[in-house]
């Protein structure tokens, strides 16, 4: 086990100690101990930048299940490292923030930090695993820890609802992804991502290519809250704000983006890949921004804004695939999409993290997150206000913040869609920049709403649950650091380009790097009067206009009925599937044994007849039949008549006698067919069982002794005739298809030589097949003990127990 | 033997039962021992013995039967299972597979040369179990209210 493995597992290893620390050291906030973990890890991973920026990778393997090809292979390249730094860096800030946000006396911090560390370790495992099964394991662990964190305040109904929703949706995606992984393994023969990239041509030729791609993408889309799976994210806002900042803006929701970026080398040659990802991403971008505007809860706005920004990055990752189709060009313009994706991923983590923390501060200091109650906080909370302005303007894509740069690159990538002359992108593709433009307008509007409605306008402090004041300094440090990063990255974006962005982009285009193309990452602040600049100016003008006339067009949101929204559909599906399952169950689980018998008999006969039909076994031959002796006719007639008569008896007593007639006739058959042992046994057993039947009859309650004939039911008659005919056909088939000689010849020859006996039946019972007899007498003994206990240990509450077992209808 | 019965005078039945009981018992023992060569064996022998006991049960009552033949039939079942199991197990101590029977000819006093077979011990287990089971069932049902 290498240091790298220990680093990945460090949060998981530290988690078990947290509850002890929480109990033992009440005076110190547990968060301070937790803080050590991400800080150490951040410093540790920071040292890898030198390695990855030189184009090298670090691989360490620990054998886990070598026979199945499942080993814990840690693999650090540019992409993995970028995510690892985001996870540990923002993780450290979030832990610091949570120390001030969560009260150490009121909250069960032991739980909180265990979940958080579980999540951190799981997330590191996802981004640094080369083996897909190990990655899947960590992937599900992120779902589970996210579920626990969303439901942290489990006494709240909304928390439980949100936790369950996110669990259902992300686990659905995770399982789909597992399916994709299994398909890929069956094609390549290895679970290693690097092997899959190396055998990309093999995968592309496989008939399962599309299935594997869609299954993997389902995993990515559900995790990254892409349309229509985005609905869990707004409900996940019931989690404590540090969790929302960490999981639902900076890290977990980016796991899907990571997966798409990671699997790009495998799939991106396909046009379908580009189309699906770009269109889903672009639509999510629009839908998220459109819905964010109508939210009144600050976290709701941020949730939809996250959805929208994730869609933006997703569509950029899709468009980046176009770069592969223009290889050999000196300056590959489509690579800008992927560079923009990676750059925006970093930017989004910084500004969204700071915005969530800002909202947490507002919530913490005023007691509400409702923008209808907030307003005029600028003078009371100047630092928070500054952070909010920086974050929102960066999100809106205004200069001089980093959001402006990535937004410009995004618009540039979308406008370049026109010049692609394949996949019908030059015709339908025009929608992408149009939708992107509209989405940017809405993004601009909700970004303005965030700080205008919260900090500007009329102060109405008397309506707030708490008297607002500036947050403690410890709470302000983490968002301030992120806000400073927003500004710094805005002014000097190129600090990251060679250290982080370039290695990450190179991991997405291994084939281009191998063919000698250089990935040029150069982000300019001022790039001349290009179409994207005019688009940004248009966004600002239109956005400002719409913001100030917002009351005139807010009405459009009221025209969407709840039932047709995705949330309505989700809730409806849950209710409907529950109801349908119950109805289905109630339909066939009637509680009557006779219904179940009908199912069993119909299924049995159906299966037998179908297989006989399927293998064409209706070809009967009666050549080996013995001649029928006259007394056999007589005996057969007696049995048939007695059996039929049972059905038409009015009383039960004659039925019992007739059953005895059948039994003794069978004993006679045994006599005729030379089976004296069977005949003896049959006679005695028949006597005993008839006696027992009579005993039962004697003890029956008076009411059921009434002489009523069995009611005739057509369906029962049909089923019984069907079963009878089936069994008859089956026996004919078995008789006429006997292909092997019987084993009884062996017994005949050896019964005296080997077992010193002359009664073959008995020798078979006690010697050749004594094992069967051994357990048959055990069966008898169990039956006797069963009867003894049932009768001797009858409880006095017999009637009550009987009532409980009655069928409900 | 206690032959008092308050309501009904069963003297013919009771007298006949006592005589027939021994005939049936002898027949059942014959069936049991003859099993390896002719029809019969532990199962039918056990049932016959049980039938003889039932005859006594019919002619007298269960208390009388318990006084005359003080068997605990549940223990008899267990004993039968133990005998059958031990017979099956003994072969593994001689390095043979489970349930391998052995037989040899012996010169017995009175009976002369006879073949003795461990299968008879196994059958004895079966015999006891069948008696035990049948009697347990009939007694339990008969004594229940």
Report the C-alpha gap between A447 and A763 in whole angstroms: 93
A34: part of which helix (H) or strand (E)? helix A31-46
Q: B42, A778: Cβ pair inside 8 Å? A: no
Cβ B36–A688 below 8 Å, yes or no?
no
Quote the minimal CA–CA distance from A593 to chain B in Å.
26
Q: Is the pLDDT higher at A424 or at A475?
A: A475
Q: How confident is the model at residue A517 (pLDDT cuts 50, 70, 90)?
A: low
Q: Which of A695, A765, A766 should we substitute to test contact with B (largest number of B Cβ atoms within 10 Å)?
A: A766
- Per the CB < 8 A criterion, the answer to whether A422 and A266 are in contact is no
- Residues from chain B that touch A774, judged by Cβ atoms under 8 A, are 84-85, 88, 99
The four Cα atoms A70, A75, A78, A82 give a dihedral, to 10 degrees, of 80
Pick the residue from chain B with its C-alpha nearest to A770. Answer: B99
Chain A residues closer than 8 Å to B80 by CB: 777, 781
As for the ipTM of the complex, it is 0.91
Is residue A723 over pLDDT 90?
Answer: yes
Q: Residue B48 domain-assigned?
A: yes
What is the domain range of residue B34?
11-144
Chain A residues inside the 8 Å CB shell of B103: 755-756
The pLDDT of residue A25? 82
The answer to whether the CB atoms of A759 and B41 lie below 8 A apart is yes
Say which residue, A803 or B114, is predicted with more confidence: B114
Q: Using one digit for the tens of pLDDT, what is the confidence trace for A364-418?
A: 888 888 888 887 777 888 888 888 888 888 888 887 788 888 888 888 887 776 6
At residue A458 the predicted structure's pLDDT band, cuts being 50, 70 and 90, is: confident
Q: Residue B78: its chain A contacts at CB < 8 A?
A: 781
Which residue, chain included where needed, has tokens 């006949």? B16
How high is the pLDDT of residue A808? 45
- CB contact B45 to A (< 8 Å): no
The per-residue pLDDT for range B17-40, each reduced to its tens digit, is 999 999 999 999 999 988 888 888
pLDDT given for residue B77 in this prediction = 94
Q: Which B residues in the span 1-30 are in contact with A, Cβ-Cβ below 8 Å?
A: none
Q: Does A765 touch chain B (CB under 8 A)?
A: yes
Q: Do A681 and B36 make contact, defined as CB atoms within 8 angstroms?
A: no
Higher pLDDT, A777 or A703: A777
Sign of CA dihedral A109, A111, A114, A118: negative
Q: Which of A174-188, A361-375, A762-776 has the lowest mean pLDDT?
A: A361-375
Residues of B in contact with A785 (CB under 8 A): 74, 77, 136
Instruction: Give CA–CA dist A697/B128, Å, rounded.
Output: 30
Query: What pLDDT sits at residue A118?
Result: 92
Q: For residue range A664-694, what is the model confidence (pLDDT) as tens digits?
A: 999 999 998 888 989 999 998 898 888 888 8
Report how far residue A455's alpha carbon sits from residue A381's, in angstroms, rounded to the nearest whole number.
8
Nearest to B76 by CA among B139, B20, B145: B139
How confident is the model at residue A705, as a pLDDT? 60
Domains of chain B: total: 1
Which letter, b or e, does each residue of A26-37 get, where b requires 16 or more Cβ atoms within 10 Å of its Cβ?
eeebbbebbbeb
Would residue B74 count as lying in a domain? Answer: yes
State pLDDT tens for residues A582-608: 999 888 888 888 889 999 999 999 999
Residue A256 has pLDDT above 50, yes or no: yes
Residue A667 confidence (pLDDT): 94
Residue-wise pLDDT for A228-242, tens only, equals 888 888 888 888 888
On chain B, the residues whose CB falls within 8 A of the CB of A676 are 39
pLDDT-based confidence at residue A148 (cuts at 50, 70, 90): very high
Q: Is B1 domain-assigned?
A: no
Give the whole-number percent of chain B exceeding pLDDT 70.
94
From A755, A788, A791, residue closest to B101, measured CB to CB: A755
Alpha-carbon distance of A340 to A409, in angstroms, equals: 6
**pLDDT at A797 > cutoff 80:** no
A-B CB pairs within 8 A amount to: 121
Q: What is the structure's pLDDT at A562? A: 58
| pLDDT band at residue A425 using 50, 70 and 90 as cut-offs | low
B contact test, residue of A686, A784, A791, A796 with most B CBs within 10 A: A784
Encode pLDDT of A646-658 as tens digits: 888 878 888 889 9
pLDDT of residue A518: 66
Alpha helix (H) residue ranges in A751-794: 760-763, 770-792
Buried b (16+ CB within 10 A) or exposed e, B65-74: beeeeeeebb
- Taking all residues of chain B, what is their mean pLDDT, rounded to a whole number? 85
In this model, does residue A526 exceed pLDDT 60? no
Q: Are A402 and A350 in contact (CB under 8 A)?
A: yes
* Residue B107 is assigned to a structural domain of this protein: yes
Q: Which of A80, A81, A96 is nearest to A38 (CA)?
A: A96
Contact residues on chain A for B71, CB-CB shorter than 8 A: none
**Would you call B81 an interface residue with chain A, using a CB distance cutoff of 8 Å?**
yes
Give the Cα separation of A575 and A569 in Å (integer).
10
How do residues A42-94 score in pLDDT, each as one tens digit?
A: 999 888 888 888 878 888 888 888 888 888 888 888 888 999 999 999 999 99
| Residue A802 pLDDT greater than 70, yes or no | no
At residue A706, the pLDDT reads 64
Q: Number of helices and strands (H, E) in chain A?
A: 36, 2
Token pair for A269: 């040659």
The model's confidence at residue A659, banded by pLDDT at 50, 70 and 90, is very high
Q: Which of B36, B39, B122 sits opposite A770 (nearest CB)?
A: B122
pLDDT given for residue B1 in this prediction = 44
Q: How much is the pLDDT for A456?
A: 80
Q: What is the pLDDT of residue A527?
A: 62
- Do the domain assignments include residue B102? yes
Compare all CA atoms of chain A with the CA of B48 and give the residue at the minimum distance: A684
Q: Could you read off the pLDDT of A298-343 as tens digits, one per residue?
A: 888 889 999 999 998 998 888 887 777 765 455 566 777 888 888 8
Chain B residues 91-130 within an 8 A CB cutoff of chain A? 98-99, 101, 103, 115, 117, 119, 122-123, 125-126, 129-130
Q: What is the mean pLDDT of residues A156-174?
A: 91
Q: Do B132 and A781 touch (CB under 8 A)?
A: yes
* Helix, strand, coil share of chain B (percent; to 5): 65, 10, 25
Strand partners, A63: A71
In a domain, B104, yes or no: yes
pLDDT band at A535 (very low <50, low <70, confident <90, very high): confident
Per-residue model confidence as pLDDT tens for chain B (145 residues) = 444 555 667 889 899 999 999 999 999 999 998 888 888 888 999 999 998 988 888 888 788 888 888 889 999 999 999 999 998 888 888 888 888 888 777 777 777 777 788 888 899 999 999 999 999 988 888 777 6
Percent of chain A at pLDDT exceeding 70: 91
Confidence of residue A792 (pLDDT cuts 50, 70, 90): confident
For residue A809, the model assigns a pLDDT of 42
3-state secondary structure at position A190: coil
Looking at chain A, which residue has its C-alpha nearest residue B73?
A: A784
Mean of all residue pLDDT scores within chain A = 84
Contact yes or no for A766 and B101 at CB 8 A: yes
């Amino acid at each position: 086990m290498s240091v790298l493995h220990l680093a990945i597992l460090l949060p998981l290893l530290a988690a078990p100690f947290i509850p002890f620390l929480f109990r033992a050291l009440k005076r110190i906030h547990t968060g301070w101990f937790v803080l050590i973990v991400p800080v150490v890890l951040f410093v540790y991973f920071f040292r890898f930048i030198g390695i990855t920026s030189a184009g090298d990778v670090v691989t360490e393997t620990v054998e886990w299940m070598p026979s199945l090809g499942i080993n814990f292979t840690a693999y650090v390249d540019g992409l993995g490292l970028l995510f690892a730094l985001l996870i540990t860096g923002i993780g450290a800030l979030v832990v610091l923030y949570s120390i001030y946000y969560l009260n150490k006396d009121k909250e069960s911090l032991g739980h909180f930090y265990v979940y958080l560390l579980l999540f951190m370790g799981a997330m590191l495992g996802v981004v640094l695993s080369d083996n897909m099964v190990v990655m899947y394991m960590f992937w599900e662990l992120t779902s589970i820890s996210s579920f626990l964190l969303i439901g942290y305040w489990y006494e709240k109904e909304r928390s439980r609802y949100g936790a369950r929703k996110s669990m259902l949706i992300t686990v659905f995606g995770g399982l789909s992804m597992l399916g994709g992984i299994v398909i890929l393994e069956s094609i390549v023969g290895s679970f290693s991502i690097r092997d899959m990239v190396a055998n990309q041509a093999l995968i592309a030729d496989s008939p399962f290519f599309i299935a594997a791609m869609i299954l993997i993408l389902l995993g990515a889309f559900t995790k990254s809250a892409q349309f229509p799976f985005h609905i869990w994210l707004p409900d996940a806002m019931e989690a404590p704000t540090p969790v929302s900042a960490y999981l639902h803006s900076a890290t977990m929701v980016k796991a899907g983006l990571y997966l798409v970026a990671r699997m790009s080398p495998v799939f991106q040659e396909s046009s379908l890949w580009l189309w699906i990802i770009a269109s889903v991403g672009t639509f999510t971008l629009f839908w998220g921004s459109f819905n964010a505007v109508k939210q009144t809860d600050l976290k709701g706005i941020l949730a939809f804004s996250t959805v929208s920004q994730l869609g933006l990055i997703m569509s950029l990752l899709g468009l980046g695939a176009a770069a592969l189709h223009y290889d050999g060009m000196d300056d590959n313009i489509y690579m800008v999409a992927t560079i923009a994706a990676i750059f925006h991923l970093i930017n989004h983590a910084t500004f969204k993290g700071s915005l969530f923390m800002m909202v947490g501060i507002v919530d913490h200091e005023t007691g509400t997150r409702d923008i209808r109650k907030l307003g005029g906080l600028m003078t009371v909370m100047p630092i928070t206000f500054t952070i909010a302005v920086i974050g929102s303007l960066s999100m809106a894509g205004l200069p001089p913040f980093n959001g402006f740069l990535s937004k410009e690159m995004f618009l540039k990538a979308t406008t370049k869609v026109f010049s692609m002359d394949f996949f019908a992108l030059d015709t339908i593709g025009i929608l992408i920049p149009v939708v992107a433009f509209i989405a940017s307008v809405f993004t601009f509007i909700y970004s303005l709403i965030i700080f205008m409605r919260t900090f500007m306008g009329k102060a109405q402090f008397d309506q707030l649950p708490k008297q607002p004041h500036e947050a403690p300094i410890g709470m302000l440090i983490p968002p301030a650091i992120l806000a400073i990063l927003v500004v710094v990255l805005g002014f000097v974006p190129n600090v990251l380009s060679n250290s982080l962005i370039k290695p990450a982009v190179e991991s997405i285009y291994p084939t281009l790097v191998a063919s000698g193309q250089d990935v040029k990452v150069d982000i300019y602040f001022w790039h001349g009067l290009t179409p994207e600049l005019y688009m940004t100016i248009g966004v600002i003008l239109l956005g400002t206009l719409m913001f100030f006339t917002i009351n005139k067009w807010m009405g459009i949101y009221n025209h969407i009925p709840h039932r047709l929204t995705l949330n309505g559909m989700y809730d409806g599906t849950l209710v409907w599937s529950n109801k349908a399952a119950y109805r289905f169950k109630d339909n066939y689980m009637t509680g009557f044994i006779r219904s179940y018998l009908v199912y069993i008999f119909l299924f049995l006969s159906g299966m037998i007849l179908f297989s006989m039909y399927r293998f064409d076994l209706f070809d009967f031959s009666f050549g080996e039949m013995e001649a029928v002796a006259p007394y056999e006719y007589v005996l057969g007639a007696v049995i048939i008549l007695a059996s039929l008569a049972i059905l038409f008896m009015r009383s039960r007593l004659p039925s019992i006698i007739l059953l005895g007639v059948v039994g003794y006739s069978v004993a006679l058959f045994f006599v005729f067919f030379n089976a004296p042992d069977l005949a003896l046994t049959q006679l005695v057993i028949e006597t005993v069982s008839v006696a027992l039947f009579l005993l039962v009859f004697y003890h029956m309650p008076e009411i059921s002794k009434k002489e009523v004939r069995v009611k005739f039911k057509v369906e029962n008659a049909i089923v019984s005739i069907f079963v009878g005919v089936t069994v008859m056909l089956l026996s004919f088939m078995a008789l006429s298809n006997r292909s092997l000689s019987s084993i009884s010849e062996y017994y005949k020859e050896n019964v005296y030589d080997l077992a010193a006996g002359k009664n073959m039946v008995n020798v078979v019972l006690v010697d050749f097949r004594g094992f069967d007899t051994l357990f048959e007498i055990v069966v008898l003994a169990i039956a006797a003990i069963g009867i003894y206990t049932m009768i001797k240990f009858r409880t006095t509450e017999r009637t009550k127990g009987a009532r409980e077992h009655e069928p409900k209808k | 033997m206690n032959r008092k019965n308050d309501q009904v005078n069963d003297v013919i039945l009771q007298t006949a039962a006592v005589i027939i009981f021994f005939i049936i018992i002898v027949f059942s023992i014959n069936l049991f021992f003859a099993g390896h060569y002719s029809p019969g064996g532990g199962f039918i022998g056990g049932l016959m013995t049980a039938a003889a006991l039932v005859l006594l049960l019919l002619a007298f009552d269960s208390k009388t039967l318990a006084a005359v033949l003080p068997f605990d039939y549940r223990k008899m079942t267990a004993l039968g299972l133990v005998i059958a199991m031990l017979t099956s197990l003994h072969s593994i101590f001689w390095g043979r597979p489970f349930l391998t029977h052995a037989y040899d000819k012996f010169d017995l006093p009175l009976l002369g040369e006879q073949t003795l077979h461990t299968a008879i011990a196994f059958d004895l287990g079966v015999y006891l179990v069948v008696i035990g089971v049948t009697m347990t069932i009939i007694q339990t049902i008969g004594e229940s209210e």
